[in-house]
Amino acid sequence: MANDIFNKHNKLTDKISETANVFGPLLGDSIIGAKSDEDWRRKRKATAHGFYKDRLKHMVEVLKEQVNTKVAIWKSEISKNGGSTQIDIAYEFSDIFARNLIYICFGEDLADAKIEI
């Protein structure tokens, strides 16, 4: 029942202002934290095709592959450096998500490419 509310009746479960205050700087005016007004409905309709269950499963699998690749690289660096190394985690996660988005949106695997972030 609760799942039905969030899937079919979002207009009845509007986002609360505390959430907007916390996540607003990160999300900006995105659909995620927007009120369920006419602008939200238009954006939701335009993006709905990208969020079907099968599509989301594919996105998660691609993300898991990207993360596993990075973890293998990090383990290799740790081994080479006697059991420890420094990793710029902000850069690394930006790289993971950039590669993930490029692969999902454009079908391009940039495994060997250097991405400037």
Mean pLDDT, rounded, for 33-48: 77
Q: What is the mean pLDDT of residues 18-27?
A: 69
Run of H or E residues at 12: none
Mean local confidence (pLDDT), 54-71 = 86
pLDDT for res 56: 79
Q: Looking at the structure, do residues 64 and 88 belong to the same domain, yes or no?
A: yes
Output the pTM of the full model.
0.52
Q: Of 16, 34, 50, which one is at a domain's C-terminal end?
A: 50
* pLDDT range class, residue 17, cuts 50, 70, 90: low
Q: Are residues 45 and 29 in the same domain?
A: yes
Considering the domain architecture, whether residues 71 and 36 belong to the same structural domain is answered as no
Least confident of 1-10, 42-51, 64-73: 1-10
- Asked if residue 115 belongs to a domain, the reply is no
The answer on 72 and 31 residing in a single domain is: no
The pair phi, psi for residue 55, each rounded to 5°, is -65, -45
- What is the tally of structural domains in the chain? 2
Query: Does 113 reside within a domain?
Result: no
| Mean model confidence pLDDT for the chain | 76
57 and 98 share a domain? yes
Res 4: pLDDT: 47
Helix 89-106 with 53-80: angle, nearest 10 deg: 140
Is 116 inside any structural domain? Answer: no
Query: Is the pLDDT score of 115 beyond 70?
Result: no
Whole domain around residue 95: which residue ranges? Answer: 52-106
User: Which residue intervals of the chain are DSSP H helices?
Assistant: 2-8, 17-27, 38-47, 53-80, 89-106
Contact 59, 104 (CB under 8 A): yes
The dihedral over CA atoms of 41, 47, 53, 58, expressed in degrees to the nearest 10, equals -160
Dist CA 40 CA 58 (whole Å): 25
Do 30 and 64 lie in one domain? The reply is no
66 within domain boundaries:
yes
* Confidence category of residue 14, pLDDT binned at 50, 70, 90: low
Shared domain for 58 and 45, answered yes or no, is no
Kindly tell me if the per-residue pLDDT of 8 is higher than 50: yes
